[in-house]
């Protein structure tokens, strides 16, 4: 059995850790609320963007654009969005696991990593990392989304990639974050919601120029939405993990306090027994 001094030292250490996890939970909760507001505010725009792309795409059948070109998927790139830091439960591990499952049957794969955790994992295992982005901060950055989107669009237009997929964690609620795989390139315009009626549009300027502006905007928005979803999920996962850590620390303190009280009681009982035994011997 551990000595009273060791038990007191362990209790003091765990209490210090509990204070840290409690503070981290409070910080993550504040960041999570801001990130949640951002992602919920951005979703309507993303839906309208898909709707507009679907309507314009259905009205301009046969239009040729580099981002619409469909090729045999011999060279595939995966943009993987993880966090820079850990201490967020299985958030990073779930995304990486999903990415590995998607890439295991692909012979010629390149990886674009966003976040230090994904970069470190795939670099240690010898994956071909085409581009890496670390130090992405605590909030989603539209500038970063545009840089990543431009990189993959340039590669795709130059026919260095035949397909590009985006893997990130979708924010469902505070307790649930779901890793998803989204096909980014070639752009596949969704079907427009026109109630089954075909609408003839008059384009000004022509459809080619409109799609030339709309398609890159769609890719950039998809990338930015992925960053927003990922940040909201990261802060939620970290808040939940720190809450669990704080509760576990409290349980450990209770168990160690019970052990310390038992050890102290045993020591007192031993001392009393020795005094009684000594008094009896003197008689």
In a domain, 12, yes or no: no
In a domain, 166, yes or no: yes
Q: What is the pLDDT of residue 61?
A: 65
% of the chain with per-residue pLDDT over 70? 93
In a domain, 178, yes or no: yes
In a domain, 271, yes or no: no
pLDDT digits (tens, 9 = 90+) for 198-239: 566 677 777 778 888 888 999 999 999 999 999 999 999 999
190-195 mean pLDDT = 56
C-alpha span between 168 and 188 (Å, rounded):
19
C-alpha span between 134 and 115 (Å, rounded):
5
Residues marked active site are found at 88
265-274 mean pLDDT = 80
3-class secondary structure, 76: strand
In a domain, 42, yes or no: yes
Q: How confident is the model at residue 52 (pLDDT cuts 50, 70, 90)?
A: confident
Lowest mean pLDDT among 53-62, 202-211, 272-281: 53-62
In a domain, 132, yes or no: yes
In a domain, 153, yes or no: yes
Domain that holds residue 128: 25-190+201-240
Q: Is the pLDDT of residue 197 over 70?
A: no
pLDDT digits (tens, 9 = 90+) for 77-99: 999 999 999 889 899 999 999 99
C-alpha dihedral, 51 to 52 to 53 to 59, nearest 10° = 110
DSSP state of 203: P
In a domain, 11, yes or no: no
Question: DSSP string spanning 145-200?
Answer: HHHHHHHHHHHHHTTS-SEEEEEEEEE-SSS-EEEEEEEEES--PPPP-STT---P
277-283 mean pLDDT = 74
249-261 mean pLDDT = 91
* Number of domains composing the chain: 1
Return the CATH number at 47: 3.40.1380.10
Q: What is the pTM of this model?
A: 0.85
pLDDT digits (tens, 9 = 90+) for 125-175: 999 999 999 988 888 889 999 999 999 999 999 999 999 999 999 998 888
């Amino acid at each position: 059995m551990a000595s009273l001094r060791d038990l007191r030292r362990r209790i003091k250490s765990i209490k210090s850790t509990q204070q840290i996890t409690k503070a981290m939970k409070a910080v993550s909760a504040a960041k999570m609320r801001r990130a949640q507001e951002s992602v919920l505010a951005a979703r309507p725009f993303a839906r309208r963007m898909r709707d507009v792309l679907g309507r314009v795409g259905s009205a301009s059948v046969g239009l040729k654009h580099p981002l619409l070109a469909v090729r045999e998927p011999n060279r595939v790139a995966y943009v993987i969005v993880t966090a820079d830091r850990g201490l967020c439960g299985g958030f990073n591990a779930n995304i990486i696991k999903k990415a590995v499952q998607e890439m295991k049957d692909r012979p010629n794969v390149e990886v674009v990593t966003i976040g230090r955790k994904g970069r470190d994992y795939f670099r240690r295992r010898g994956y071909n990392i085409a581009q890496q982005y670390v130090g992405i901060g605590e909030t989603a950055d539209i500038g970063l989304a545009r840089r990543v989107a431009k990189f993959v669009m340039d590669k795709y237009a130059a026919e260095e990639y035949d397909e590009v997929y985006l893997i990130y964690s979708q924010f469902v609620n505070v307790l649930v974050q779901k890793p998803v795989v989204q096909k980014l390139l070639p752009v596949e315009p969704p079907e427009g919601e026109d109630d089954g009626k075909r609408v003839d549009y008059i384009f000004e300027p022509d459809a080619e120029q409109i799609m030339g502006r709309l398609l890159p905007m769609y890719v950039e928005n998809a990338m930015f939405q992925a960053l927003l979803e990922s940040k909201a999920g990261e802060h939620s996962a970290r808040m939940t993990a720190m809450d669990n850590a704080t509760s576990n620390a409290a349980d450990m303190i209770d168990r160690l306090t019970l052990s310390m009280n038992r050890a102290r009681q045993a020591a007192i009982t031993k001392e009393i027994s020795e005094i009684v035994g000594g008094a009896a011997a003197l008689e």
